[in-house]
């Protein structure tokens, strides 16, 4: 099969001491429309405001060159007013002056009213499961064999794969899957959900000092477990939150849903002032353990593990001084208009009517295309002008070469995003994803270490993986005041979403 061929190629590359080249970053040039989307994020009121201020300052500085001249000019103005008050054009001139100052004040007012409200990341917590839920590779194989669900061929395939995914021997599984025999019931899935959110929310409330009743907005994202009442309702009931809390429950949005939740919270905090927003990001594993024989669906068994994260955001001025980060921007890209991208990660029944999530062989190509679009939009927002000029000149040169029909064309220029960010949180979706982004962005081993360490220690925890990576960076004391972090995640649909944070304090 295609998956066996890919695995054989990976083994051959590993024997040669090289990483498997399973990731494809498209070499085609960026779409100018995508570049424009990045520039459109610049608020036009900024130009009006800064232009007005600069104009006034230029006039003031050029006229009031020395402080001694200010008094002299003022005296002349007073004398002129006293002398010319009866002049026929005096009131016209005075009206123009007053109207000019009124226009300047109005411009400043419009700017202050239209500028985006700051969104602070007060703090976040990640779930640390107890030791009795550890799921080493040998236990994975023993339990899979003991269930009687898998053929020896399927077990052998999973055994080969689990040792090559980048996962270590200290990842975790929920109690339902570790039970003998496995209990994949709704009750066990609810137990997993409550176990994770209780641990992270208790810790977050204790760390920040914020009480559950002080939460104004609640957002939960979990793709594959959607009970009724929802998981957001479970949290409201558990912590007895206010009846007017604005709650949202996002489902089916894949591993990039963590950034989607942050983006939704950001938009809500622009509308609702003086609010605290709580985001809970997780994936429920209990009912999504695939028990069939399709190799495309068996891959997920070797990757996904137990995890979750809670994030407290706020737009309160009083929270700014005690927060860790401020949100700079978010970029969301959805490639679902094309069938290949739409079906790259696909939940369905196999031939034996067993439900599972299939990862197609085109997944890496689709991921590369989504990443390219995201970075193209993100570039104009975050890159220094030196990189933007290089990128634009390269783009125009490639366009000219395409019009002239030149056979040997200039390769596409990928901007150096290391000049915009000091730290990177790449979704720990698998070793090939991390390898691909490391090569595409020309990152150092130290810059991708948070992603590799998270994958090794916790596995693919889906949407919460980027928060485990940020926690790793913090524990290593690598991030300093003023430095920026890029979180980038890939998910079904197919989506590529990114968020940029700036550190407020050491």
The residue from 329, 394, 427, 497 that is catalytic is: 427
Tell me, yes or no, if 427 is annotated catalytic: yes
**Which residue blocks in 209-334 are alpha helix, DSSP H?**
231-239, 257-271, 295-298, 317-320
- Residue 276's nearest CA partner among 285, 286, 267, 265 is 265
Tell me, yes or no, if 46 is annotated catalytic: no
Contact in structure between 158 and 141 (CB atoms under 8 Å): yes
Residue 500's beta-bridge partner residues?
329, 486
The residue from 221, 284, 460, 497 that is catalytic is: 460
The residue from 221, 222, 255, 425 that is catalytic is: 255
Residue 499's beta-bridge partner residues?
330, 487
Q: Dihedral sign for Cα 318, 323, 329, 331, please.
A: negative
Output the DSSP codes for 212-247. Answer: GGG--EEEEE-SS---SS-HHHHHHHHHT--TT-EE
b/e 417-450 (16+ beta carbons within 10 angstroms → b): beebbbbbbbbbbbbbbbbbbbebbebeeebbbb
Cβ contacts of 294 within 8 Å, gap of 6 or more:
350, 351, 354, 356, 358
Nearest-10 Cα torsion for 224, 229, 232, 236: -150
The residue from 423, 425, 496, 497 that is catalytic is: 423
Tell me, yes or no, if 137 is annotated catalytic: no
Tell me, yes or no, if 334 is annotated catalytic: yes
Integer Cα distance of 269 and 118 in angstroms: 9
Integer Cα distance of 415 and 376 in angstroms: 9
Output the DSSP codes for 165-187. Answer: SS--S--B--HHHHSSS----HH
Integer Cα distance of 496 and 250 in angstroms: 16
Tell me, yes or no, if 24 is annotated catalytic: no
Integer Cα distance of 200 and 222 in angstroms: 15
Contact in structure between 289 and 182 (CB atoms under 8 Å): yes
Cβ contacts of 234 within 8 Å, gap of 6 or more:
190, 193, 194, 197, 227
Contact in structure between 328 and 502 (CB atoms under 8 Å): yes
Catalytic residue list:
255, 334, 423, 427, 460
């Amino acid at each position: 099969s295609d998956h066996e061929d890919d695995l054989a190629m990976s083994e051959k590359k590993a024997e040669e001491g090289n990483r498997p080249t399973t990731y494809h970053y498209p070499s085609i040039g960026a779409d100018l429309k995508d570049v424009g989307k990045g520039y459109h994020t610049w608020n036009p009121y900024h130009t009006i405001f800064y232009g007005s201020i600069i104009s006034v300052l230029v006039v003031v500085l050029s006229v009031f060159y020395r402080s001694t001249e200010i008094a002299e000019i003022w005296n002349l103005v007073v004398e002129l007013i006293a002398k010319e008050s009866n002049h026929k054009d005096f009131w016209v001139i005075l009206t123009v002056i007053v109207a000019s100052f009124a226009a300047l004040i109005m411009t400043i007012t419009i700017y202050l009213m239209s500028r985006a409200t700051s969104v602070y990341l007060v703090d976040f917590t990640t779930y640390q499961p107890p030791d009795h839920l550890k799921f080493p590779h040998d236990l994975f194989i023993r339990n899979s064999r003991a269930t009687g669900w898998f053929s020896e061929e399927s077990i052998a395939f999973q055994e080969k794969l689990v040792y090559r995914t980048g996962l270590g021997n200290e990842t975790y599984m929920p109690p339902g899957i570790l039970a003998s025999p496995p209990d994949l019931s709704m009750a066990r899935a609810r137990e997993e959900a409550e176990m994770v959110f209780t641990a992270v929310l208790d810790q977050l409330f204790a760390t920040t000092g914020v009480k559950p009743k002080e939460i104004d907005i609640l957002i939960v994202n979990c793709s594959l477990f959607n009970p009724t009442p929802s998981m957001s309702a479970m949290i409201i009931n558990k912590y007895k939150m206010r009846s007017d809390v604005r709650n949202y429950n996002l489902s089916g949005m894949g591993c990039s849903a963590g950034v989607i939740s942050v983006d939704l919270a950001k938009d809500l905090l622009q509308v609702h002032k003086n609010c605290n927003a709580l985001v809970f990001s997780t994936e429920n594993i209990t009912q999504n353990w695939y028990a069939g024989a399709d190799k495309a669906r068996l891959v997920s068994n070797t990757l996904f593990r137990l995890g979750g994260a809670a994030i407290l955001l706020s737009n309160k001025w009083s929270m700014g001084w005690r927060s860790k980060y401020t949100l700079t921007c978010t970029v969301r890209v959805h490639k679902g208009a094309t069938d290949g991208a739409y079906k790259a990660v696909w939940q369905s029944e196999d031939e034996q009517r067993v439900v599972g999530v299939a990862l197609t062989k085109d997944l890496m190509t689709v991921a590369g295309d989504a990443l390219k679009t995201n970075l193209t939009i993100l570039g104009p927002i975050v890159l220094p002008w030196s990189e933007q000029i290089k990128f634009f000149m390269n783009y125009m040169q490639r366009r000219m070469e395409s019009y002239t029909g030149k056979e040997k064309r200039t390769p596409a220029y990928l901007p150096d995003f290391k000049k915009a960010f000091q730290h990177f949180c790449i979704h720990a979706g698998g070793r090939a994803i991390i390898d691909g982004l490391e090569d595409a962005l020309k990152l150092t081993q130290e810059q991708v270490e948070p992603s590799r360490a998270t994958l090794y220690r916790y596995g693919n925890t889906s949407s919460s993986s980027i928060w485990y990576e940020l926690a790793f960076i913090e524990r290593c004391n690598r991030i300093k005041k003023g430095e920026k972090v890029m979180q980038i995640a890939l998910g079904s649909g197919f989506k590529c979403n990114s968020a940029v944070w700036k550190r407020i304090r050491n």
